[in-house]
Structure 1
């Protein structure tokens, strides 16, 4: 590792032991120098290479060229350093919808040598406080429209001392401070392997894990997946639905377009209806969204003009072959499926348009290797289901977390997905290997929802699993045993749903709740989630039959 630029060594001090790191391969092929700041490479380079007047980012009421974006970044970086006292290595929490200002703040933190901790607007104070404490951060930048939950977060933790609010008209707003700041800023001389991002993901226990990514990682996903598989052009216009706090959204909506000097269009609301309205108006050429959205768009498109699109990317959940076929028939576009992970930063198995095999995820992205392993960690024969293992120029490093040893085995990242590889080297998704529920592209930990429901005074026991759903792939379904004297009815279903929405991000709430007398458990009393998943697939009668037996 090169000499770090971090004065605050928290990130380096909390990297996992080197013998628990995955093996990083093909870094020499990418040719990154020892010292590099990814904000310079992704924004300033476009200006220095003559694309300063090119449109970089478009928002609801904002259109910034690369030169204008670079100036905004510099002003925010000066505010962070001069007003907030940011030191290289300090963590900064960002809380925004997908807006140009979030992009500017993101790169300002990176350029100043800080570490970004991006969070979704839907998260509640209970969840945000855990992130603040685990990251040991004291500074946040937040959209003024999300102020209420941010203030509640501040009250829940002793660490968060400074919050800059964007979009307000008060004297201390981010915009007012930017106006007084210099438009020039010299980038921090960061090492290529200095940590620049903590990407949070929830595990099966609901306890958040923070994945640690270097400056070089931000470029590696551009120079492997984007350059080799997606193959964008400077003339492209990118649009999509994933939040920038998801690494899928960060790469697909910001890093990939900026790497080639293209344009990013950011929608604060990006549901299927919003995309259907925005595509004819803003004419994107590259679309990133989940299979759920592609299905919904097909159902509602009517005569909507989608002819501007030339590339469509799907990730976040398995892409059904029927959806792929229907999209091709309706648009003439072969959706590019892919699997990525927050631990890997972005997509590592995919296929170019001319190599797509409908129903298969694809082959390892150039720069990556993948295999399927059995319970003993050894590679299994083609056609045999097993755990997916991958390695490449990016990989898992959890922040101070014992689960590192479970994710990285013998130098390989073991993702928690079950796959089959065929004789031609294509990888076919089977299922998640853990208890995560993937619903409309969101990863939801069942035990976290269980813990929230159990705090309600009407609930005695509960089990939460994913149930099949034709529109979302899976929905969160809760099987609830009520306390004596409590009646389960439609009103209580809504009460429990609202309760979860108030405590957790709303997308985590159980869309289906079934009141039952007992739950399947082992002889030692452990909840059998696998049995609940079988029941959710088989319907309510399966549980009643099981209970009767």
Structure 2
């Protein structure tokens, strides 16, 4: 594919990409993918697309406080781009973004990427130590933070002299913007609404998407401007098929590529609008807001749909026409419960942060019970054994995928695990039936997927081991109909400690204060010893067997 000179003089990320022989094979076999230009700024392209299709005055970003048309949002993004330029940032610099789902967070992300900077968005629930690991790896030049989330970030910056001086600008300051004269809103108020997008190459970097590995140390998946736009031309075009009349809402954070695609980039590509609530979603609140806002597309995890079903029966679902489920395995019981409550067939899909978004999925009219779906146009997928040989239909093996996007880790030896012979291995066990439908079986690594969140068992173990009552521990996922999996900790207490309900609560609270709250073990079981190999390695498979077979 044709290349164009890079517009990013800061080569930090470029120089830390895997060697070319470790890259996945990127396939652009659809006509729309072959037409992607060599010089490409994805934000400019998406705004130009909206304008070119006559959507400039249509609503784009919605909240209870304001609604911005595409033209108004572009003006705001230009103002923020000019503010970033005034800070002395240069293309290729990383910008740490910390915020929940809001109009202000969306505008900040778009401004960063339009300016040729690299967005490093972080989950709102992350604690200081987790943020510090991301900061250490990405080396941002500035941090942009929602005013409500500044405490943990400031605590993270204070953990090291190297980060204590990182410039911090707050946003979403509302009325406080008058007082906070250096907030993004205050600075943007005086900036021009005209700006020239950075003339980035399609191969220039747009974002670093952090995902937790099975060791708990963060991995940064690198995505280029071409990657993001290519993702728009696959699942959204061929499976989701959103329209300019759609109003999109959902729960996945913009810091997840599932949320970034579903709740920002893909609606832009379709000329649709996105609603960001002013309150945290609960199952009942989401159902009520679907009706009040007139939402037509909803993104959330199976756990949430299961909890929403009763409220959907009670309140109705208004104009909702598509309910997208991803982030964890969708039990058929949950699919049927939601269908009975809403009348809608779930649009299921599996994706990966490393691949940017969904690569196996089927539209509602092509759903097959028990299966996630078929491979999305623009991708190829197969089931292989440990030697990489394709297995006959019906046999369970490792899922291998390649297509328009693929894994490129930042400076990480785990690249050689994820990408083998040009294929991406997301770490899932699947089977494929004679009709080409893929059936999910399990994770093939130690990742626990609970209520749509990825949690590394060793990371939770490390937090528990910091508690003075714990001698040793092992953390695994136990299958659960409601949450997909629950985090289960087997704990050996130190001599003199009592394994009772009070101790369980102490350990759970300890993890909640050490890590993001969703990572705490919902179940704690006290044992006298953990299963280990002769060399002392913890046998997590034995713990999983205890949890599943004996409920021990």
Q: What TM-score do the two structures reach when normalised by structure 1?
A: 0.96
Matches within 5 A, 1:529-544: 529-541=540-552
Say which SS state the counterpart of residue 92 (structure 1) adopts: strand
- List per-residue Cα deviations over 1:256-289 (Å, max 9, x = no partner): 1110111111235223122122111111101111
Q: Is the 8 A contact 1:241 1:271 kept in 2?
A: no
> Which shows bigger deviation, 426-435 or 518-527?
518-527
- List per-residue Cα deviations over 1:491-520 (Å, max 9, x = no partner): 221111111111111100111111111111
Return the alpha-carbon distance in structure 2 between the equivalents of residues 223 and 16 of structure 1: 25
What does residue 55 of structure 1 align with? 59
What does residue 110 of structure 2 align with? 107
What does residue 415 of structure 2 align with? 404
- List per-residue Cα deviations over 1:186-226 (Å, max 9, x = no partner): 00000011111100001110111000001011111111100
What does residue 21 of structure 1 align with? 23
Structure 1: segments with no counterpart, 5+ residues: 542-549
Return the alpha-carbon distance in structure 2 between the equivalents of residues 48 and 540 of structure 1: 59
Say which SS state the counterpart of residue 343 (structure 1) adopts: helix
Are 1:375 and 2:386 an aligned pair? Answer: yes
What does residue 126 of structure 2 align with? 123
Return the alpha-carbon distance in structure 1 between the equivalents of residues 150 and 364 of structure 2: 43
Say which SS state the counterpart of residue 350 (structure 2) adopts: strand
Count of residue correspondences: 540
Instruction: Give the drift of 1:356.
Output: 1.0
Say which SS state the counterpart of residue 417 (structure 2) adopts: helix
- List per-residue Cα deviations over 1:129-173 (Å, max 9, x = no partner): 110110011211000111111111111231361010011431111
Q: What TM-score do the two structures reach when normalised by structure 2?
A: 0.96
1:520 to 519, 528, 531: 531
Matches within 5 A, 1:145-160: 145-157=148-160, 158-159=162-163
1:248 to 240, 255, 258: 258
Q: Is the 8 A contact 2:312 2:342 kept in 1?
A: no
> Which shows bigger deviation, 133-142 or 326-335?
326-335
Instruction: Give the drift of 1:97.
Output: 0.6
- List per-residue Cα deviations over 1:51-92 (Å, max 9, x = no partner): 22111011242211111111111111111111x211000000
Return the alpha-carbon distance in structure 1 between the equivalents of residues 365 and 286 of structure 2: 26
Return the alpha-carbon distance in structure 1 between the equivalents of residues 344 and 22 of structure 2: 42
What does residue 273 of structure 2 align with? 263
2:323 to 312, 316, 322: 312
Say which SS state the counterpart of residue 145 (structure 1) adopts: helix
Are 1:276 and 2:287 an aligned pair? Answer: yes
Structure 2: segments with no counterpart, 5+ residues: none
Are 1:348 and 2:359 an aligned pair? Answer: yes
Say which SS state the counterpart of residue 156 (structure 1) adopts: coil
Q: Is the 8 A contact 1:228 1:366 kept in 2?
A: yes
Q: Is the 8 A contact 2:30 2:378 kept in 1?
A: no
Return the alpha-carbon distance in structure 2 between the equivalents of residues 363 and 226 of structure 1: 14
- List per-residue Cα deviations over 1:210-245 (Å, max 9, x = no partner): 000010111111111001011111101111110110
1:187 to 197, 203, 206: 197
Instruction: Give the drift of 1:488.
Output: 1.7
Return the alpha-carbon distance in structure 2 between the equivalents of residues 373 and 153 of structure 1: 42
Q: Pairwise CA RMSD of aligned residues?
A: 1.3
Q: Is the 8 A contact 2:23 2:419 kept in 1?
A: yes
Are 1:210 and 2:214 an aligned pair? Answer: no
Return the alpha-carbon distance in structure 2 between the equivalents of residues 406 and 254 of structure 1: 30
